[in-house]
């Protein structure tokens, strides 16, 4: 099989390696808008659809590596709340694939992220205590996350809308997000394959970028170990806000 044309393009390596490093840093627990920049960065050298197909296997590897780092630290009651809704959202995304534009989804997710953080910042009194778990809120936001994750790999902001107010301990928050998205991304492989997103060229391109994964994970762990609990959540909220602005720009203005 001839090598994909992308693998002979130096611009691909610049964009691809940078994207995987950012994804690894984000998935290893260091709060930041790095993860949201993965697909947009790859889209600089290929179509967004192809970028999403190449990134998904990498996300599965990154998620698994990140979960190993925080093995057993996840919050089981929270996972029981969010996983059913996430699966419903993925199912809806697979059924509606191609009927809703990626740009519309990006603007929607970005708007949710921005409005949530603005609400959190301006309701200071309500933010002093951790919010209780809610099957209704958890089910709704995880379903939105599953849907946006399927159609645009942008499931993080809706999930954080539910998880951040719980104020879980830092390692538990990271592990819970990690396990949830490991399961979600693994399940997404099936409909992605059915929809013809995994050509031999795309899978080979993903494989070429796999060695960058542990570098990003360990870099993220190093950064995360130097951030306190309070600063972690401040950075997470600012990250969510910037993530939202990035998604709005990518969906509404970048094309």
Average pLDDT over residues 176-200: 91
- 148 class by beta-carbon count within 10 Å (0-12 exposed, 13-18 middle, 19+ buried): buried
Q: What mean pLDDT is reported for the chain?
A: 81
- Scan for tokens 């089910």, then name that residue: 139
Average pLDDT over residues 36-46: 70
Residue 150 has pLDDT above 90, yes or no: no
Average pLDDT over residues 89-110: 81
Backbone angles phi, psi at 107, to 5 degrees: -65, -40
Residue spans of the domains in the chain: they are 5-252
- Do 4 and 201 meet the contact criterion of CB atoms below 8 Å apart? yes
Q: What is the DSSP secondary structure assignment for residue 180, as one 8-state letter?
A: H
Provide the pLDDT confidence category of residue 125 given band limits of 50, 70 and 90: very low
Residue 73 has pLDDT above 60, yes or no: yes
Structure confidence at residue 90 (pLDDT): 94
Provide the pLDDT confidence category of residue 146 given band limits of 50, 70 and 90: very high
- Do 182 and 64 meet the contact criterion of CB atoms below 8 Å apart? yes
Structure confidence at residue 176 (pLDDT): 93
Question: Which tops the pLDDT comparison, 172 or 37?
Answer: 172
CB burial string 6-45: b at 16+ within 10 A, e below: beeeeebbebbbbbbbbbbbbbbbbbbbbbbbbbbbbbeb
Structure confidence at residue 35 (pLDDT): 61
pTM of the model: 0.78
Tell me which of 48-57, 113-122, 210-219 is least confident.
113-122
Q: Where are the alpha helices (DSSP H) in 96-228?
A: 102-122, 135-152, 156-163, 170-194, 200-209, 213-224
Structure confidence at residue 80 (pLDDT): 95
Residue 77 has pLDDT above 90, yes or no: yes
Provide the pLDDT confidence category of residue 78 given band limits of 50, 70 and 90: very high
| Residue (of 98, 122, 99) closest to 241 by Cα position | 122
Report CA torsion sign: 198, 200, 201, 207.
positive
HSE at residue 170, side-chain half, CA atoms within 13 A, is 18
Tell me which of 63-67, 77-81, 161-165, 172-176 is least confident.
63-67
Provide the pLDDT confidence category of residue 31 given band limits of 50, 70 and 90: low
Average pLDDT over residues 1-7: 60
Average pLDDT over residues 3-26: 79
CA distance 226 to 206: 31
Provide the pLDDT confidence category of residue 36 given band limits of 50, 70 and 90: low
Provide the pLDDT confidence category of residue 1 given band limits of 50, 70 and 90: very low
């Amino acid at each position: 099989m001839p090598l994909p044309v992308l693998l002979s393009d130096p611009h691909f390596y610049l964009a691809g390696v940078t994207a995987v490093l950012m994804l690894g840093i984000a998935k290893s627990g260091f709060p930041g808008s790095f993860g949201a920049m993965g697909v947009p960065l790859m889209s600089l050298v290929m179509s967004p659809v192809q970028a999403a197909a190449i990134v998904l296997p990498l996300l599965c590897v990154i998620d698994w590596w990140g979960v190993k780092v925080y093995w057993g630290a996840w919050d089981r009651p929270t996972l029981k709340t969010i996983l059913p809704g996430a699966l419903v959202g993925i199912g809806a995304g697979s059924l509606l694939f191609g009927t809703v534009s990626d740009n519309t989804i990006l603007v929607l997710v970005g708007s949710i992220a921005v409005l949530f953080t603005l609400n959190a910042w301006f309701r200071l009194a309500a933010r002093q205590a951790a919010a209780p778990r809610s099957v209704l809120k958890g089910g709704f936001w995880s379903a939105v996350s599953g849907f946006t994750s399927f159609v645009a790999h942008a499931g993080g902001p809706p999930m954080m809308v539910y998880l951040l107010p719980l104020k879980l301990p830092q390692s538990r928050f990271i592990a819970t997000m990690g396990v949830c998205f490991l399961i979600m991304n693994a399940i997404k492989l099936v409909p992605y394959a059915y929809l013809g997103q995994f050509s031999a060229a795309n899978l080979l391109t993903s494989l070429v970028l796999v060695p960058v994964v542990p570098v990003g994970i360990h870099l993220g762990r190093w950064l995360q170990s130097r951030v306190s609990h309070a600063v972690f959540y401040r950075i997470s909220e600012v990250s969510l806000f910037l993530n939202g602005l990035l998604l709005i720009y990518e969906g509404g203005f970048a094309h």
